[in-house]
Amino acid sequence: MPAPMMRYVSGMITQPNVVSALRSKRAELAGQIDALQDQLREAMIQIDHVDCTIRLFDPDIDLDEIRPKPLPPRHHAFKGQVTRSILAMLRTEGAMDAKAITIRLMAERELNPNDKTLQKAMQKRIGAALRNLRERTLVQSEAAKNGLLQWQISQQYPALHVDKLPFLRENDSREALS
């Protein structure tokens, strides 16, 4: 079988598949730029509408004094969100180990499960939430054969419904978990 055809381009030898892959990557990035420009245009329209509404209520306001609020990273969660998700998961799935909970929660929140740094951060957050729930006797853990702890809803609360717990309401979003 003959070797793939090589081209000489300004002092470098290139292969057609490398150029093809780079063209494909460039097209992908150009598409991302177009989508981001559309989002930016939509956000500018929305901020103009909000500015007009603010001026209806306060015509003398200096809108430049309102500083932009930075967006939190995608993996941040509002207070109680991780706890609610864990309890809902244990309620529907039964006993699970922290690693399985981490993988399910990352998939549920559309986070990259192959990002080892993010996975470790999520596992720490989930471990802390599980220990907190155990201290409050809402969940219990026992050692499994694989050496990991199996977590489940406490026997004291077999009919635990996440929606009925006042300290885990969906609208409680005052601060983000770190």
For 151, phi then psi, to 5°, come to: -105, 140
Domain that holds residue 12: 7-57
The verdict on residue 174 lying in a domain is no
Whole-model pTM: value is 0.49
Q: Which of 21, 41, 57 is the last residue of a domain?
A: 57
pLDDT over 50 (residue 98): yes
In CATH, what number is assigned to the domain containing residue 149? 1.10.10.10
CB atoms within 10 A of CB 76: 13
Q: pLDDT digit string (tens) for 141-150? A: 888 788 888 8
The verdict on residue 51 lying in a domain is yes
The verdict on residue 41 lying in a domain is yes
pLDDT over 70 (residue 123): yes
For the chain, the domain total comes to 2
Token output for 87: 């309890």
86 and 51 in one domain? Answer: no
Residue whose C-alpha is closest to residue 96's, from 119, 76, 126? 126
The verdict on residue 125 lying in a domain is yes
161 and 106 in one domain? Answer: yes
Which pLDDT score is estimated for 20?
87
CA pseudo-torsion sign 47, 48, 51, 56? negative
User: In angstroms, rounded to a whole number, what is the distance separating the alpha carbons of residues 126 and 89?
Assistant: 12
